[in-house]
Amino acid sequence: MKKLINHLDHVLAESLDGLAAAHQDILTLGARHQFVRRRVPTPGKVALVSGGGSGHEPLHAGFVGRGMLDAACPGQIFTSPTPDQMLAAAEAVNGGAGILFIVKNYSGDMMNFRMAAEMLDLPNATVLVNDDVAVEDSTHTTGRRGVAGTLVVEKMVGAAAEQGADLTACKALADAVNRSTASMGVALSSCTVPAVGRPTFQLGHDEIEMGVGIHGEPGRRRIPHASADAIAAELCGAILKDLEPGRGQRVLLLVNGFGGTPLHELYLMVNSARRILNAAGLDVVRHLTGNYVTSLEMAGCSITVTTLDDEFLALWDAPVHTAALRW
Amino acid sequence: MKKLINHLDHVLAESLDGLAAAHQDILTLGARHQFVRRRVPTPGKVALVSGGGSGHEPLHAGFVGRGMLDAACPGQIFTSPTPDQMLAAAEAVNGGAGILFIVKNYSGDMMNFRMAAEMLDLPNATVLVNDDVAVEDSTHTTGRRGVAGTLVVEKMVGAAAEQGADLTACKALADAVNRSTASMGVALSSCTVPAVGRPTFQLGHDEIEMGVGIHGEPGRRRIPHASADAIAAELCGAILKDLEPGRGQRVLLLVNGFGGTPLHELYLMVNSARRILNAAGLDVVRHLTGNYVTSLEMAGCSITVTTLDDEFLALWDAPVHTAALRW
**Pick from A11, A23, A265: CB nearest B3:** A265
On whether ipTM exceeds 0.90, the answer is yes
* Sequence-distant (≥ 6) Cβ neighbours of residue A259 within 8 angstroms: A191, A291, A294, A295, A296, A297, A298, A299, B260, B262, B263
Q: Determine which of B200, B267, B295 to mutate to test the interface with A (most A C-beta atoms within 10 Å).
A: B267
* Sequence-distant (≥ 6) Cβ neighbours of residue A45 within 8 angstroms: A70, A95, A97, A161, A162, A164
Residue-level pLDDT at B140:
85
Q: Is residue A40 pLDDT above 90, yes or no? A: no
**Pick from B57, B269, B291: CB nearest A4:** B269
The reply to whether A128 and A220 lie within a common domain is: no
* Sequence-distant (≥ 6) Cβ neighbours of residue B205 within 8 angstroms: none
Domain annotation covers residue A1: no
Domain annotation covers residue B221: yes
Q: List B residues 290-309 in contact with A (Cβ-Cβ < 8 A).
A: 291, 294, 296-297, 299-301
Strand order across the beta sheet in which A36-38 lies: A27-29, A36-38, A71-77, A47-54, A99-104, A124-129
pTM of the model: 0.98
Closest Cα in chain A to B10: A268
Residue ranges in chain B whose pLDDT is less than 50: none
Domain annotation covers residue B14: yes
The single-letter DSSP state of residue B62 is G
Which chain B residues have a beta carbon less than 8 Å from that of A317? none
The reply to whether A199 and A174 lie within a common domain is: no
Q: By the CB < 8 Å criterion, does A289 face chain B? A: yes
**Cβ-count burial A242-269 (b if 16+ within 10 Å, e if not):** bbebeeebbbbbbbbbbbbbbbbbbbbb
User: How far, in Å, CA of B152 to CA of B157, rounded?
Assistant: 8
Residue-level pLDDT at A144:
96
Domain annotation covers residue B241: yes
CA distances from A262 to A209, A267, A299, A305, B135 (A): 18, 9, 9, 21, 26
**CATH assignment of the domain containing A238:** 3.30.1180.20
Residue-level pLDDT at A145:
96
Residue-level pLDDT at B83:
98
Q: Is residue A41 pLDDT above 90, yes or no? A: no
Residue-level pLDDT at A138:
82
Cβ distance of B4 and A208 shorter than 8 Å: no
Domain annotation covers residue A271: yes
Are B320 and B326 contacting, i.e. CB atoms less than 8 angstroms apart?
Answer: yes
The reply to whether A188 and A304 lie within a common domain is: yes
State the alpha helices, DSSP H only, in B24-129.
Answer: 83-93, 107-119
Cβ distance of B4 and A228 shorter than 8 Å: yes
Mean pLDDT of chain A, nearest integer: 97
The reply to whether A129 and A209 lie within a common domain is: no
Is the previous residue joined to B58 through a cis bond, with omega within 30 degrees of 0? yes
Helix (H, G, I), strand (E, B) or coil at B10: helix
The reply to whether A189 and A170 lie within a common domain is: no
Domain annotation covers residue A51: yes
Domain annotation covers residue B3: no
**Cβ-count burial A45-63 (b if 16+ within 10 Å, e if not):** bbbbbbbbbbbbbbbbbbb
**CATH assignment of the domain containing A22:** 3.40.50.10440
Output the CA torsion A278→A282→A284→A289 (10° steps). Answer: -70
Residue-level pLDDT at B304:
98
Q: Determine which of B5, B36, B214, B263 to mutate to test the interface with A (most A C-beta atoms within 10 Å).
A: B263
Single-letter amino acid, residue A10: H
- What is the crossing angle of helices A310-317 and A149-162, to 10°? 90
Q: Is residue A172 pLDDT above 90, yes or no? A: yes
User: How far, in Å, CA of A50 to CA of A29, rounded?
Assistant: 14
Which chain A residues have a beta carbon less than 8 Å from that of B297? 260-262, 299
The reply to whether B274 and B290 lie within a common domain is: yes
Longest dimension (CA), chain B: 55
The reply to whether B292 and B267 lie within a common domain is: yes
The reply to whether B105 and B220 lie within a common domain is: no
Q: How far is CA A67 from the centre of its chain?
A: 16
Q: By the CB < 8 Å criterion, does B228 face chain A? A: yes
User: How far, in Å, CA of A165 to CA of A249, rounded?
Assistant: 26
CB neighbourhood size of B205 (10 A) = 7
Which chain A residues have a beta carbon less than 8 Å from that of B284? 21
The reply to whether B125 and B158 lie within a common domain is: yes
Q: H or E stretch including B106?
A: none
Tell me: the pLDDT tens digits for B17-33?
999 999 999 999 999 99
Number of domains into which chain A is organized: 2
The reply to whether A34 and A165 lie within a common domain is: yes
Catalytic (active site) residue B56: yes
Give the structural domain span for B259: 181-309
Output the CA torsion A150→A152→A155→A156 (10° steps). Answer: -120
User: How far, in Å, CA of A199 to CA of B301, rounded?
Assistant: 21
User: How far, in Å, CA of B72 to CA of B20, rounded?
Assistant: 13
Q: Determine which of B268, B272, B289 to mutate to test the interface with A (most A C-beta atoms within 10 Å).
A: B268
The reply to whether A133 and A207 lie within a common domain is: no
What percentage of chain A has pLDDT greater than the value 90? 97
Domain annotation covers residue A150: yes
Q: What is the mean pLDDT of residues A230-244?
A: 98
The reply to whether B112 and B185 lie within a common domain is: no
Residue-level pLDDT at B217:
93
Residue-level pLDDT at B119:
97
Single-letter amino acid, residue A151: L
